[in-house]
Amino acid sequence: MQSVRAGRPDLSEYPDEDLVALVRRGEGEAFRVLMQRYNRRLYRVARGVVRDDGEAEDVVQEAYVRAYAALGDFRGEAGLATWLTRIVLNEALGRLRRLRPTDELDVLDTLPHEARVVMFPGVTAMGDPETAAARAEVRRLLERAVDELPDPFRLVFILRDIEEMSIEETAAQLAIRPETVKTRLHRARKLLREHLDAKLASALKDTFPFEGARCRRITDAIMAWLGLADGAGAESSG
């Protein structure tokens, strides 16, 4: 591992274990790189628990403070990402317990299968303004749908389908069996499909609008083609 001070190497290329070693030696920039590397994952996990943007940011900040203080005890058996995610989950769930009655959290596993996005930091819309607006609306629709999932299903969906963790890693993070991960993910996807189907079905009637100037233009063209533009029925309307 090169010295950080010798030639200012690009720390973003360093593996986690080297950055951890640098942080332990007092190199603050190494911790900055670690935060930048895992900000999006940790925010998504926190947001999936607390369902509030500002609260999720507070959770991540507090988790980083706790992680920095405990970095000397980190042994690397599970990997830094897993370790940080566990700290964020503990912090987020702790806040949730303070905000909600304890019994509500105790019965999460017994919730019925009815529904109850997650913001995606770093996702930028490309192309023209109309396309960007459409992408933003789709993202908001997905975020609302994910927010309405029951807690156990929402967390599994975020870890598996958004963060792309393995079944085993997700099971370890949530202290559940791999079979439970599969079941909850299946139910989460089913609930999302049902939610989106309902939302999109109501919007289908507004698809491909044909009114205003467009309607008048086509009507006028047909009237002219039929030789009726100057006749008694030449008025066009949408």
For residue 100 the two structure tokens come to 């909600």
Q: What is the pLDDT along the chain (238 residues), one digit of tens a residue?
A: 554 555 567 898 899 999 999 999 988 899 999 999 999 999 988 998 888 888 989 999 999 999 999 998 888 777 899 899 999 999 998 888 887 654 444 434 433 333 233 333 443 444 556 666 666 776 777 888 888 899 889 989 988 988 888 999 999 888 899 999 999 999 998 888 888 777 766 655 555 555 566 566 666 665 566 565 554 444 444 4
Residue that is written with structure tokens 């933003």 in the block: 136
83 with 166, same domain: the answer is: no
CATH of the domain at 134: 1.10.10.10
Residue 112 confidence (pLDDT): 36
Size (the chain), residues: 238
Residue 211 confidence (pLDDT): 57
154 with 197, same domain: the answer is: yes
55 with 145, same domain: the answer is: no
CA distance 14 to 9: 9
The widest CA-to-CA distance across the chain, in whole angstroms, is 89
Domain boundary among 68, 84, 102: 102
8 with 30, same domain: the answer is: yes
- What is the rounded (10 degree) CA torsion for 180, 182, 188, 194? -130
Residue 95 confidence (pLDDT): 87
5 with 84, same domain: the answer is: yes
For residue 72 the two structure tokens come to 């000397």
- Domain that residue 150 falls in: 110-207
Residue 237 confidence (pLDDT): 44
219 with 195, same domain: the answer is: no
16 with 70, same domain: the answer is: yes
**Consecutive H or E run containing 193:** helix 178-203
Residue 208 confidence (pLDDT): 53
197 with 128, same domain: the answer is: yes
177 with 228, same domain: the answer is: no
Question: Looking at the whole model, is its pTM more than 0.85?
Answer: no
Tell me if 74 sits within 8 A of 80, measured CB to CB.
Answer: yes
96 with 135, same domain: the answer is: no
237 with 213, same domain: the answer is: yes
Q: What is the DSSP string of the chain?
A: ---SSSS---GGGS-HHHHHHHHHTT-HHHHHHHHHHHHHHHHHHHHHHH--HHHHHHHHHHHHHHHHHHGGG---SS-HHHHHHHHHHHHHHHHHHHHS-HHHHHTGGG--SS------TT----SSHHHHHHHHHHHHHHHHHHHTS-HHHHHHHIIIIIS---HHHHHHHHT--HHHHHHHHHHHHHHHHHHHHHHHHHHGGGSS---HHHHHHHHHHHHHHTT-TTSTT-----
202 with 117, same domain: the answer is: yes
How many folded domains does the chain comprise?
A: 3
Residue 84 confidence (pLDDT): 93
